[in-house]
Structure 1
Amino acid sequence: MLRVGAIVLAAGQSRRMGSAKQFLPLRGKPLFRHAVERAAACQLSPILLIGGEHSERLRQLTRDLPEVEVLDNREYATGMASSLRRGMEAVAGRVDAVLVFLADQPYVPDQVVQSLIQTYADHRAEGVKIVRPIYQNTAGHPVLFDAALLGEFTCVTGDQGGKDIIDKYKSHLKKVRFARADWNLDIDTPDDYCRVQQAILAEPCE
C-alpha cells in the first residue's frame, strides 16, 4: 500500500492581505483548516503543517487533530522555498510520495486528492514522479512529488517553490485535468476574501 503524506504550507507573511490570512474565518473555521482537514479526510499520513511566526497559534488550533504535526520554519521570511525544504526534510523516509497543499486554497475537494494519488499509483511504474492538477487551463495545487525527488528541494530558494523542480522533471510529470476553475481559488488579498464570501458563501463582505 502506498504511503502518501501531506505538507501544508502556512508560513507565509500575507503581505498583500495585511494580516495573517491563514486564520481568516471561512465557513466557521480558520482558512488553513480547510487544507489540513482535506488531507486528514483523505487519510494522508503524516500531515505536516509548516508554520512561521504564528506556529504556536497553528498548534493551538489543531489540538483536536492529533495526526497533524506543526513544524516551525524559522526562515519563513525568505519565502515559500524554506517551508518546502523544512517539510521535505521532515517527511523523508516516511512516505512513497507527498502532496503539497497551500493553506490559502480552501476549495480543493477530495476528488482532486484521490485522483492525483490514483494517477500516481497507476503510472509510477512508467516513471511518473510528479502529478499536478490542471483546473481548466491553469496549473494548481496540491502537487504530488515522488519520494525520490525530496532531496531536490534542498536547493530551492525564494518564492519559486517547486516550479524549478517541476520544470526539471517535466518528462516525469503527469497532469490531471479538472473542469472546475473555482477549485483552484486562493485568497491573497482583502478583495479575494470579499469575493469568496460574496460569490461562494453568499455572505456579506465586512
Structure 2
Amino acid sequence: MKRNNFGAIIISAGYSSRMGDFKPLLKFGKYTAVELLINTFTSSGINNIVVVVGHRGNEILELLKNSKIKCVENRDYPKGMYSSIVTALGDLDDTVDGFFMIPVDIPLVKTNTINSLENEYLKGNAGIIYPVFNEKKGHPPLIDCKYKNIIKKWSGGGGLKKLLAKFEKDSTMVAVCDNSILMDMDTKDEYCKLVDYFNSQIPNIEECLCILKLYNVPLDVIEHSVKVSQVAMDICESLNDAGYNFDKNILKTAGLLHDVSRNCKNHAEAGGKLLKKLGYPKLGNIISHHMNIKVSSQENIKESEILYLSDKLVKKDKIINLKARREYCLNKYRDNQEALYKINLRFDAAEDIMEKLKCAIGRVFKYE
C-alpha cells in the first residue's frame, strides 16, 4: 500500500515577460502568489516543498528567508521551465513517494483538489494523476517518484507534458470542482480576473454546475434549487433597494447549492460541511442553517435567514406563499406528530423572517 508522503515543486524562475510584472510576488490579499501556493500545500500536510528561483530570485529568497521552504536556484532558467523541473528534482527529498509540479502563475488551486489527487494516488492504480475540470486537464499533476530519473534524463522536446504523455497507461484523471486548475496569469487582464475570483470566495457558475454533477444531485432537486436561488436574489434585491448591501452572488450560489447533500441525513449540515471542505467556509455556514434556524427579532436580517426563507417559499420548482406551503407540509405528514411539531417550528421561524423582511423593506414582499 502506498504511503501518504508527498512533495511539491513550485516553479518561480521565469521572466514574467508577458505579464510586465513579476508573477511570484503579485498579491492575493495579504499573500503573494508563491506564498499562496506554499500555504495550499502545507495546509494539505505537505512539508517537502521546493521553490525554484531564477529571474529576480533574490527577491523570492528574501521573502521566504524565515520559512522552512527549500529554495533552489536554476542558473539555466533562460532555457525554460523544464530546466527548472530538473533542478528541483535534484533537491527533492529522497523519502518522498510522489510530487506535485506547478508553475507559480497558477496560484489559486484549492486544498481539496490536492487532497483529491493524493487520495487517488494512494489507491495505487496509477503513477501520474491529473486534476480535471469540465473534462480539461489542469495543474498540478501528481507524479510518482519512479519517474524522477526519467524526467531528469529526458532530452526530447515538448517539455514535461510531452514526456508524461508517453506514460498514458500509468496515468489517470480526477474530476475536481476547481476552475482554478486551468486559470493562469500570463497577462495583467488574467491577473485581474484571478484577483476577482480569489476575492469572491464562492464558486463560479461553472463550478456550481460541476459540484451538482459530481455529487449526483437529482434533476428535480436542481430545478428546486434554481428557483430557490431566484427567490433569494429577489429578496436580496429588495433589501439592497432599501439601503442594505447584501452580496447577490453569494445568495444566488447558496440557493443553487443548498441541497447539494439532499440525500444525506441532516442534509443542511452535511451540505455545509461539504462546501467548507471544498474551500467555501462562508457559503457552508449559510447553507448549514437552511433547515433549522434561530431567529432574533432584535437583529438585522442575515444571509442565512434569506436562504432559509427562500427555501420555504418554494415547493418543488414553484414559488408558493408560506401559508400554503405550511398547509401542504402539515397535510403530508398529518399522521406523524413529531414531524408536525418540527414543521410548525420551521414555518414559525420563516414567518418571523418574513416579518423582519417586511420591516426592512418597508412594505409587503411580493411572495408573501
Question: How does the TM-score come out when normalised to structure 1?
Answer: 0.88
Alignment of 1:1-206 (within 5 A): 1-66=3-68, 68-91=69-92, 93-122=94-123, 124=124, 126=125, 128-156=126-154, 160-198=158-196, 200-201=198-199
Deviates more, 1:55-64 or 1:186-195: 55-64
Show CA shifts across 1:114-166 (max 9, x none): 110110001x2x4x110010111221111111010001112446984421222
Inter-CA distance 31–112: structure 2 relative to 1 (3 Å threshold): same
For residues 30 and 153 of structure 1, what CA distance do their matches in structure 2 show?
29
Greater CA drift, 77-86 or 187-196:
187-196
* Counterpart-to-counterpart distance in 2, 1:26 and 1:160: 31
In our comparison, the structure showing a higher alpha carbon Rg is 2
- Paired with 1:195 and 1:22, the residues of 2 have a C-alpha distance of 16
The higher-RCO structure (CA 8 Å, 6+ apart) is 1
2:24, 2:105 within 8 Å by CA — same for their partners in 1?
yes
**8 A contact 1:98–1:146 mirrored in 2:** yes
Letter in 1 for 2:106: Q
Preserved contact between residue 131 and residue 181 of structure 2 (Cα < 8 Å): no
The CA distance in 2 between the partners of 1:137 and 1:157, in whole Å, is 30
Gaps of at least 5 residues in structure 1 are none
Give the percent of matched residue pairs that are identical in Structure 1 and Structure 2: 24
RMSD between superposed Cα atoms in Å: 2.0
Q: For residues 61 and 78 of structure 1, do their structure 2 counterparts lie closer, same or farther at Cα, with a shift above 3 Å needed?
A: same
Q: Which residue of 1 aligns with 2:275?
A: none
SS of the residue 1:175 aligns to:
strand
Structure 1 contact 120–131 (Cα < 8 Å) conserved: yes
Equivalent residues, number: 198
Change (3 A) 1:157 1:188: farther
Q: CA deviation at 1:93?
A: 2.2
Confirm or deny: 8 A CA contact 2:121 2:127 kept in the other structure: yes
2: CA distance, partners of 1:57 / 1:105:
19
AA aligned to 1:184 is: L
Query: TM-score, normalised to structure 2's length?
Result: 0.51
Task: Return closer, same or farther for 1:158/1:188 CA change in 2, 3 Å cut-off.
Answer: farther
Which is helix-richer, 1 or 2?
Answer: 2
- Which position in structure 1 is the counterpart of 2:349? none
Residue aligned with 2:199, SS = coil
Task: Point out where structure 2 has 5 or more consecutive residues left out of the alignment.
Answer: 201-368
Whole-angstrom distance in 2 between the partners of 1:179 and 1:26? 21
Higher strand proportion: 1
- Taking the aligned partners of 1:164 and 1:154, their CA distance within structure 2 comes to 14
Q: Check the 8 A contact 1:92/1:147 in 2, yes or no.
A: no
